[in-house]
Structure 1
Amino acid sequence: MPGCFKQTVFAFIAALSFASFILILVAMGTQKWMMAKILCKTGAELVNATDPELVKFMGELYYGLFGGGKMRQCGLGGRHSRFTIFPHLVKKLNTSLHVVIILFLCVAFSFALVSLGFCILNILKVPYRAIKGPGGIALWNVLAGSFAVLAVSSFMAAVELHNLTERIANFREHVFQFVILEEQYQHCFWLCVASATIHGVNLLLVAVSLIHFPTLKTKPEEANVTAEDIMY
């Protein structure tokens, strides 16, 4: 059974692993990964709108992994609409990349739970000889953090390289064409970044748990032997 110091460190790692699991679940369930300002290019060109008039053709768009919403303005006031990624919109996107992002996040929070379980087992007892102690905990945190980083990187690639926001903005738009004026990552995206950072912190804590602090030993008192003790 590990000492009191290691138990404390493992308990802290377990709490962080559970926090990482919750962060990923919240990020996947909330549709606030990206916010963008969109311009109805077709409407602005039809009326030859100048800079002060372009405000009437600017709308907003937000989306996540499974859906989002859009407020479109084409000169006649704003119109709000909601959409879902599955099953129709995903066909207009890079389907394989979008599915891979979701799979990476699922694997990441699964390994976060495994890390939590092994921390608890290491607090109580050593679970398995092959992956016992800090080495096993470090392994699961490396895997969980790596898949979270892969998910975040894949989402950024979809946005920057595959024009994800523009494709979503022009979904089911047969008359008007929308262009992206501004994009900004929202809190759900940063929750996944925080989850990956947590596993990096866990690796540092695992390294701390390997530190062996010197134990203070009391010096035994020397016995005073007298002549009377020898006689008796």
Structure 2
Amino acid sequence: MASSRQKTLLFTAAGVLGFGCALAAAVSTGLPLWVDALMLCRTGAELVNATGAELEQFLGAVSYGLFTGTRVRHCGLGGRPTRFYFFPDLLAQIPAGLHVTVLVLCCFVVLFSALGSGFFFYNAFGRPYHTLHGPTGLYLWSASSGCSLLVLVLFGCEVKIRRLSELISNFNESTFVFQTHGERYERSYWLFFLVSFLQATNVLLIRLSGIHFPFHQKEPTDAETGAADLMY
């Protein structure tokens, strides 16, 4: 069992990490830095049978987040960047239900991380509650790391399985067909991965403070065992 001073230090560190998670998740949600992709104008490349280095003249780009992004179309004649918005422009083009679910989970991560940070500081410098909000309840608030992982998994499914980059590039396009030539996750996506790691670290800090997991069953003492034997 950790001493009172050790508990204060552990809960303070966990509170700082929780506040950092809330801030990082909020910033990541708003930034258009989740995916950066190269888009090939397949129609234009097939017209001229472009191969090798010639394909570079037909490679555009699209970068986006959860709310907005920028795309550049290249079909052999150059291109210029245009800005787009998911709401309300692309709602009919993208898997809206999946996208909204990702946004809702992002909000949960921010909310739970902020609440968890507050309760960590309260347990560090105040007198903790002996209810759900108490020491054991800290595991509940740190469980928002599961939401962070869900954000990563669902957004990855939206990008890879539902081909989100192609849906965006082909929006309102009737002449040319664009396909993904290469894509990578950007800093906001990996920042959410860091958030899930820090939330898992908070769970470890709670355990180091001496608080058992909620599903931990207390082993009966010798006195309790002896009393039960006397009853029989």
Q: TM-score, normalised by structure 2?
A: 0.86
| TM-superposed deviation, 1:96 | 0.5
The residue correspondences of 1:74-223 to structure 2 (distance < 5 A) are 74-131=75-132, 133-142=134-143, 144-210=144-210
| TM-superposed deviation, 1:48 | 2.2
Question: Is 1:134–1:209's contact at 8 Å kept on the other side of the alignment?
Answer: no
After TM superposition, the runs of 4+ consecutive aligned structure 1 residues lying more than 3 A away are none
Question: Is 2:128–2:135's contact at 8 Å kept on the other side of the alignment?
Answer: no
% identical aligned pairs: 36
| TM-superposed deviation, 1:78 | 2.2
Cα distance in 2 for partners of 1:30, 1:125 equals 36
SS at 1:134 equivalent: coil
Question: Is 1:39–1:57's contact at 8 Å kept on the other side of the alignment?
Answer: yes
1:4 maps to 5
Cα distance in 2 for partners of 1:61, 1:29 equals 17
Gaps of 5+ in 1: 212-232
2:52 maps to 51
Cα distance in 2 for partners of 1:20, 1:50 equals 46
1:222 maps to none
Q: TM-score, normalised by structure 1?
A: 0.86
| TM-superposed deviation, 1:133 | 4.4
Cα distance in 2 for partners of 1:179, 1:46 equals 15
Amino acid at match of 1:161: I
Amino acid at match of 2:121: I
| TM-superposed deviation, 1:207 | 0.7
The one-character-per-residue Cα deviations of 1:196-222 (angstroms, maximum 9, x if unpaired) are: 1110000011111118xxxxxxxxxxx
Structure 1 residues 132, 60: closer, same or farther in 2, change over 3 A? Answer: closer
Question: Is 1:126–1:133's contact at 8 Å kept on the other side of the alignment?
Answer: no
How many pairs are equivalent? 209
More divergent stretch after superposition (194-203 vs 77-86): 77-86
Q: Which structure has the larger Rg?
A: 1
Cα distance in 2 for partners of 1:27, 1:60 equals 21
Structure 1 residues 131, 113: closer, same or farther in 2, change over 3 A? Answer: same
Question: Is 1:20–1:112's contact at 8 Å kept on the other side of the alignment?
Answer: yes
SS at 1:86 equivalent: coil
1:26 is the counterpart of 2:17: no
1:224 maps to none
SS at 1:49 equivalent: coil
SS at 2:92 equivalent: helix
Question: Is 2:129–2:135's contact at 8 Å kept on the other side of the alignment?
Answer: no
Cα distance in 1 for partners of 2:179, 2:208 equals 50
